[in-house]
């Protein structure tokens, strides 16, 4: 009776009814804007993804469609492969790495947050190599919604999985609990940060971030307005992780994104051959149906 009363009186704003989250987990996400699920991803899948990343770095395999980004400082030193590549994006194009995106235990939790019709809109294998310098290695505090044209904000969620042990030393993720309740803040390049698109919010000293220390396989889900980022890798180890952003396939695709990224994304959309006004098509090409029915963000031929 008590449970029933609680269930009917509680108004959930950031999550959906489902069987995959306990009420406690659901309440935590609603309140804090993130949720850590320990030991969620099979270590064998993570090992396969790590090896695939190394093979792509060493050009042993080539996957059309994925794009690599290098650590700005280590690139200047002339380092190669895994020692310099800081991320590869659009991993849904890769047969091995895309298994992370469709991994059932992750998608079940995503369903509990954004509902049953799910597309992946952005996906990354991240690698923070050692031996870089602070402003090249850190990821400034930001809100992901600044980069995304999907609305409402609650129709987007990120998953972030540790591929190896991550702590403050090797540059784990940090989050600002409850910041998902804030509106979108202005973003710009922080002083000394040269990595492309690594925009951050100003006045970071006003916020109190907490480090998300994770063992291999632990996964954090978070809201696109949650302030987050990561520190530099000051260790001698790598910091590898997988991340995917999921959207409700029926959400709105709007033309309003952060001023700074708008120009970059229009350039990218031109480069991909969709023209100056092909911004929405550019995003639709990036939206890959993962579960449920296709919707407004999908087109049928989005695999190369």
Ligand X SMILES: O=C(O)CCC(=O)C(=O)O
Q: Which residues in this chain contact ligand X in the complex, by CB under 6 A? A: 126, 139, 144, 173, 228-230, 241
- Write out the two tokens for 98: 């895309």
Residue among 52 and 142 whose Cβ is closer to ligand X: 142
Q: Reduce the DSSP state of residue 8 to 3 states and report it.
A: helix
- 222 DSSP 8-state letter: E
- Write out the two tokens for 5: 């009363």
What backbone phi and psi angles, to 5 degrees, belong to 34?
-150, 165
- Write out the two tokens for 202: 């100003």
Q: How far is the CB of 124 from ligand X (least distance, A)?
A: 6
| Helix (H) or strand (E) segment spanning residue 135 | helix 134-137
Residue 142: Cβ-neighbour burial (10 angstroms; 0-12, 13-18, 19+): buried
Q: How far is the CB of 268 from ligand X (least distance, A)?
A: 16
Q: How far is the CB of 74 from ligand X (least distance, A)?
A: 15
Q: How far is the CB of 33 from ligand X (least distance, A)?
A: 14
| Helix (H) or strand (E) segment spanning residue 280 | helix 279-286
The residue written with tokens 């280590």 in the block is 74
End-to-end CA distance of the chain: 53
Angstrom distance (rounded) from CA 259 to CA 257? 6
- Write out the two tokens for 148: 């995304």
Residue among 154 and 241 whose Cβ is closer to ligand X: 241
Residue among 30 and 144 whose Cβ is closer to ligand X: 144
Residue among 26 and 140 whose Cβ is closer to ligand X: 140
Q: How far is the CB of 158 from ligand X (least distance, A)?
A: 7
Residue among 16 and 134 whose Cβ is closer to ligand X: 134
Q: Reduce the DSSP state of residue 70 to 3 states and report it.
A: strand
Q: How far is the CB of 184 from ligand X (least distance, A)?
A: 14
Residue nearest to ligand X (CB): 230
Q: How far is the CB of 287 from ligand X (least distance, A)?
A: 17
- Write out the two tokens for 71: 């650590």
Residue among 63 and 230 whose Cβ is closer to ligand X: 230
Residue among 26 and 128 whose Cβ is closer to ligand X: 128
């Amino acid at each position: 009776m008590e449970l029933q009363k609680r269930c009917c009186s509680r108004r959930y704003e950031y999550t959906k009814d489902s069987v995959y989250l306990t009420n406690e987990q659901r309440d935590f996400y609603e309140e804090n804007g993130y949720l850590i699920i320990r030991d969620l991803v099979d270590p064998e899948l993570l090992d396969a993804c790590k090896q695939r990343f190394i093979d792509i770095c060493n050009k042993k395999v080539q996957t059309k469609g994925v794009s690599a980004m290098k650590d700005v400082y280590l690139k200047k030193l002339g380092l190669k492969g895994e020692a310099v590549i800081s991320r590869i994006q659009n991993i849904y194009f890769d047969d091995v790495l895309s298994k992370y995106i469709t991994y059932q235990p992750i998608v079940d939790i995503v369903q509990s947050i954004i509902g049953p019709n799910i597309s992946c809109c952005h996906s990354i294998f991240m690698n923070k190599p050692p031996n870089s310098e602070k402003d090249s290695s850190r990821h400034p505090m930001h809100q992901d919604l600044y980069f995304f044209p999907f609305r409402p904000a609650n129709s987007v969620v990120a998953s972030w999985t540790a591929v190896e042990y991550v702590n403050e030393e090797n540059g784990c993720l940090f989050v600002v609990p409850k910041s998902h309740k804030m509106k979108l803040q202005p973003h710009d390049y922080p002083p000394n940060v040269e990595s492309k698109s690594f925009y951050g919010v100003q006045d970071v000293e006003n916020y109190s971030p907490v480090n998300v220390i994770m063992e291999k396989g632990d996964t954090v889900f978070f809201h696109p307005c949650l302030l987050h980022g990561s520190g530099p890798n000051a260790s001698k180890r790598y910091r590898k992780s997988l991340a995917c952003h999921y959207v409700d396939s029926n959400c709105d695709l709007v033309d309003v994104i952060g001023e700074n990224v708008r120009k970059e994304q229009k350039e990218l959309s031109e480069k991909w051959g969709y023209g100056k006004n092909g911004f929405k098509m550019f995003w639709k090409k990036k939206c890959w149906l993962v579960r449920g029915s296709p919707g407004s963000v999908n087109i049928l031929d989005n695999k190369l």
